Structure 1
Amino acid sequence: MITEDVRKARQKLVLDHFRDEVRQDWDDVLSTFPHPHYELIPTMTVHDGQGEVRGYYHDSRVAFPDQDHEIIALRHSDDAVIAEFWLLGTHLGPLGTIPPTGNRFRVRMTAYFIFDAEENLVCERIYFDTLTLLKQLIGGLDLRNPRNWVLAARCVRGLLKTSGDKPHPALTRTTPPAFAD
Structure 2
Amino acid sequence: HHSHGNVQHHHHEHRAYKDIVALIEGAGFVEPVKNTALKIFKRIGEAEGHIHGIPLEKVHFHEVGAVDSIIDIIGAAILIHQLEIDVIKSSPIPVGTGRIHIDHGIYPVPAPATLEILKGVPIEQSDIRFELTTPTGAAIVAVLAEEYCPIPSMKVTSIGYGAGTKTFKNHPNVLRVVIGEE
TM range (shorter): under 0.3
Q: TM-score, normalised by structure 2?
A: 0.27
Q: TM-score, normalised by structure 1?
A: 0.27
